[in-house]
């Protein structure tokens, strides 16, 4: 995936719009395993005529309908109103240099911008390889068990395996959504089914804030990287001007 700086900067406006348009509550009390192998979260569900309706908040205003055969199972998520990761503060033995190298390797393998991967890690776990969400997502890139299994990750708490699996999954989503970062991030958070249902970023508070947070961090990192890259050029210009005098 190749993204121009101009395209990256345009995402700032999307990030602001995403935050401002976040109006729905972020409460999810059930994990839904779909027949296609993906999973998603909802507040509650009900049989409505021939379909199973998944409600995304406490109210009935936001929902997705599925045929019964499209859903494999439901799991209750304890205390799901709190969706932020629960951080295990034990020593992870992972230095910033180690994480940087892992992200660089994964980015090169999947042609992903390392700063994008770093931004996802920042939003998902804040760089803690022992992070566990109340929904059961684990590790640096918060892989759900099903996603980890699909990507061949045996232990999501091993940083290199987690980054490898999360990067592969994000790469698949970017291919699916034709390198649209916002849609890929929305699918990473809420699942592809929700993105496909709404043909865009789902109107879920958690997902919209998540997309905005990652894009904001990504743009911050890109700007800092470009500024750092220009410093040698500026220094060289000053030296040449001084020599000319």
Catalytic residue ranges: 124
CB atoms inside a 10 Å sphere around CB 228 = 9
C-alpha 67/C-alpha 15 separation (Å) is 33
Convert 91-144 into a string of H (helix), E (strand) and C (coil): CCCCCHHHHHHHHHHHHHHHCCCHHHHHHHHHHHHCCCCCCECCCCCECCCCEC
- At residue 31, what are phi and psi to the nearest 5 degrees? -105, 130
Q: Which of 77, 7, 83, 68 is nearest to 35 (CA)?
A: 68
DSSP per-residue letters across 34-102: ETTS-EEEESEEEEETTEEEEESSSSSSSEEEE-GGGEEEEEE-TTTT--SPBPP-S-----HHHHHHH
């Amino acid at each position: 995936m190749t993204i121009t700086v101009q395209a990256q900067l345009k995402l700032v406006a999307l990030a602001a719009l995403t935050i401002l348009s976040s109006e729905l509550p972020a409460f999810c009390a059930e994990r839904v395993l779909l027949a296609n192998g993906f999973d998603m979260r909802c507040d509650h569900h009900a049989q409505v005529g021939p379909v199973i309706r998944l409600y995304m908040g406490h109210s009935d205003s936001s929902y997705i309908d599925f045929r019964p055969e499209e859903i494999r199972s439901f799991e209750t998520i304890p205390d799901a109103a709190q969706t932020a990761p629960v951080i295990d503060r034990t020593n992870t033995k992972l230095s910033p240099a180690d994480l940087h190298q892992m992200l660089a390797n994964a980015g090169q393998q999947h042609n992903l911008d390392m700063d994008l991967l770093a931004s996802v890690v920042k939003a998902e776990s804040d760089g803690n390889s022992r992070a566990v969400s109340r929904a059961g997502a684990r590790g640096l890139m918060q892989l759900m068990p099903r996603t980890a299994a699909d990507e061949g990750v045996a232990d999501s708490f091993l940083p290199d395996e987690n980054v490898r699996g999360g990067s592969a999954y994000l790469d698949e989503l970017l291919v699916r959504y034709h390198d649209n970062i916002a849609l890929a991030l929305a699918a990473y958070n809420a699942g592809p089914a929700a993105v496909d249902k709404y043909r865009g970023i789902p109107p879920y508070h958690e997902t919209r804030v998540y997309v905005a947070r990652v894009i904001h961090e990504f743009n911050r990192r890109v700007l800092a990287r470009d500024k750092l890259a220009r410093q040698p050029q500026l220094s060289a210009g000053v030296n040449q001007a001084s020599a000319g005098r």
